[in-house]
Structure 1
Amino acid sequence: DGSLDGHALSMLELLAQEAPVERFEEPVRRAAAGGAPADALARLGEARDHALSVRQLFGRRQQREAGLSALVDTARDLTLPYNLDALLKVITRR
């Protein structure tokens, strides 16, 4: 779809696909190449910027989840019965 709505929808599709950052510029380029007016390109640029912000938030959330998962794993390991040497190895491994 060559409409502004179609290009904006492609931003959501890129988010859903977890596409690389570079791909978010493609709908803007296609709209410009299709002769979209300047105000439409500006709105599409805003949609791109918002999509990239959401993508960044998802990335940070994934990092936090990974960190919390590692913390839970470590806590679980520390609650298992170990002799002192084995416990120190678990701690240094983490």
Structure 2
Amino acid sequence: MEVEHGDVWEALRPLCARVMSVPPEAVLPHARLVADLGADSLDITELEVASEEMFGVSLKGTDKAGVSTVGDVADLIVRLRTTHAAHSPLAR
């Protein structure tokens, strides 16, 4: 099962806009969650929970140290979904 980065981006963009109360056009791959979009710790937590529900992945226990932009979030979700698909019993 191949995970399309574009599909993740198309779903993540409006989600970020809603959670951070910014216009969708402000949500760009290089936009920094805190510095550019004004996210606080509650916004980050809400984004994590909403992303887990929307994309069917668990962000718990993942290394989020290098995640600072919207593009980084999309990349992390794609990696997690790809890893999950590879370990799925149906993938064998």
Normalised to the residue count of structure 1, the TM-score between the two structures is 0.29
**Structure richer in helix, relative to its length:** 1
Structure whose alpha-carbon radius of gyration is higher: 1
TM-score, normalised to structure 2's length?
0.29
